[in-house]
Amino acid sequence: MRNRVNIMLLIMTLLSMILAGCSKESTKSTVVEGDKGTIKAGDEKLPPYEVKLVFYGPAQKDLELVEKEMSQITLKKINATVKLERIEPAAWDQQTILMLTGNEQVDLIVTGGTEFSRQVAQKQLLPLDDLLKSQGQDILKALQPEILEATKVDGKIYAIPSIRDFASNTNVMMRKDLLEKYQLDASKVKTFDDLDPILETIRKNEPTITPLGKPGASAPILNRILESSWDILGDNIGVLNSLDDLKVVNLFETPEYAKLLKTVRRWYEAGYISKDASTSKETAVDLIKANVGFGVIQKGKPGALAQTETRTNTKLELVNIGKQVTSTTNITAIMLGIPANSKDPKRAMMFLNLLNSDRDLINLIDWGIEGKHYVKVGKSIDFPPGVNATNSGYNMRQGWMFGNQLLSHTWITDNPDLWNEMDQYNRESKKSAALGFSYNPSPVKTELAAITNVVRQYQSGLENGALDPEVNLPKFNAALHAAGIDKVIAEKQKQLDEWAAKNKKSGR
């Protein structure tokens, strides 16, 4: 019996030595309380807890290793371990709806766009204003007030945007080797119509090359232009007439939209766009990587060129068209919310605060474990010897999803000063007059369902050039009016006017 007691005393002594060593990195206000398993943060005792973060993304073999490394940090700081719950993108909607309507514990969840509006309307996300004041001080320091304003619904904050590219412009990327081969000067491109001579040269001389590909599998040729030219107010069904006023109009009846359709139709008829662009899932990146594509109209931001070159393994020339703009839609596209299902919302906010302030934590979730998944090379990082994109156990590359991306390392192919450039790009962007307005589609959900069917019928064909706009644009708009777009625009305008009056905004 005495030997057993002595062994227990020895174990307790060793444990106390280990805990004493760990506490060296803790703040003076954090005290480990040993046998109770709690810690004291300021005036508050924190019992052990597991914070579950739910997100979508590709499978990662070493996900559990990364969450264990993250837990070493969070245990010291907020007495919580981390559970990273990954969901396949294709299953995201179905699984998260089940999670949030059931009783399953979820402490943080990726949200944004119409999904965010639905979750707020169904009271599945908690208001965060009080939690931010008590547990989110670093978030308040990191985000400009106008950015947080953009997340409000009926005056309350329901999610925190990841700190990333809040602004965007439109750019064109083209293969450098073919530009040089035919002595084509990309700097002369100031408008989209200026692309014609370049695209025509490629079409005539490179019959196996598609001159212009789509920016995404389901995104038409014109998609990124629309997103960076109007404030789409969440869904494109009623947009701002201009960024400087608060007048909601039908995008599909604007002269600018009609002009873009004529341009893309001309490109389609000239053979610059694939004839199956409306139905194919192949993107410009796919085509360029396979050496059968030339260019793409893409979303612009600092680092976009280097990232696309890495994805295509091809040197590209970039031409920016238009100034970067910031809208509520840009900001609220990717956020983290605390669901009503959280068993400890305060601890969830503490963890979210760390994701916006702790460099070690953010680099673990963004890049994995140093030495295993990446190594430092000067001011940047790269794969360790023998590791690459195909065999790495953690190569998610979704830093734009989690907390403050500006705290993360830059990859070897990026400019080491990328995050300073991004911060400046965001601050210098043109801000929409409706920045901060969030639209609630619930009053017109019946009309929106009918409109969605009309959009599916016409939009892809028109915006990929396959449908003649002279014939089909009037049909498109007639069908939209029949489906109730005027009622939707009136409702959006009503909500916008109410928001403007409440927030003392002007623009009409």
Task: Tell me the per-residue pLDDT of 456-479, one tens digit each, with 9 for 90 and over.
Answer: 999 999 999 999 999 999 999 999
* Residue 387 falls inside a structural domain: yes
* Residue 459 falls inside a structural domain: no
* Residue 238 falls inside a structural domain: no
Q: Coil, helix or strand for 439?
A: coil
Judge whether residue 129 has pLDDT over 70: yes
Q: What is the pLDDT of residues 224-235, one digit of tens each?
A: 898 888 899 988
Q: What is the pLDDT of residue 40?
A: 60
Mean per-residue pLDDT, 199-227: 93
* Residue 229 falls inside a structural domain: no
36-40, 150-154, 383-387: the lowest-pLDDT one:
36-40
Judge whether residue 491 has pLDDT over 90: yes
CATH number for 132? 3.40.190.10
Q: Are 250 and 477 in contact (CB under 8 A)?
A: yes
Q: Are 264 and 464 in contact (CB under 8 A)?
A: yes
Please give the Cα distance from 278 to 296 (Å, whole number): 15
Judge whether residue 24 has pLDDT over 80: no
Q: What is the pLDDT of residue 37?
A: 66
Please give the Cα distance from 199 to 189 (Å, whole number): 12
Q: What is the pLDDT of residues 156-192, one digit of tens each?
A: 999 999 999 999 999 999 999 999 999 999 999 999 9
Please give the Cα distance from 443 to 440 (Å, whole number): 8
* Residue 403 falls inside a structural domain: yes
Q: Residue 51 forms beta bridges with which residues?
A: 82
Q: What is the pLDDT of residues 380-429, one digit of tens each?
A: 999 999 999 999 999 999 999 999 999 999 999 999 999 999 999 999 99
Judge whether residue 42 has pLDDT over 60: no
- Helices H, strands E: what count in the chain? 20, 20
Strands 375-377 and 380-382: antiparallel
Question: Can you read off the two tokens belonging to residue 82?
Answer: 């981390």
Q: Residue 370 forms beta bridges with which residues?
A: 374
* Residue 420 falls inside a structural domain: yes
Judge whether residue 13 has pLDDT over 50: no
Output helix, strand, coil percentages for the chain, rounded to the nearest 5: 50, 20, 35
Range of the domain at 414: 49-164+331-431
Mean per-residue pLDDT, 352-378: 97
* Residue 354 falls inside a structural domain: yes
Residue of 20 and 63 predicted with greater confidence: 63
Provide the number of structural domains found in the chain. 1
Q: What is the pLDDT of residues 327-350, one digit of tens each?
A: 998 899 999 999 999 999 999 999
Mean per-residue pLDDT, 488-507: 89
* Residue 225 falls inside a structural domain: no
Prediction pTM value: 0.81
Judge whether residue 193 has pLDDT over 80: yes
Residue of 29 and 409 predicted with greater confidence: 409
Q: What is the pLDDT of residue 27?
A: 33
Judge whether residue 149 has pLDDT over 70: yes
Please give the Cα distance from 137 to 118 (Å, whole number): 28
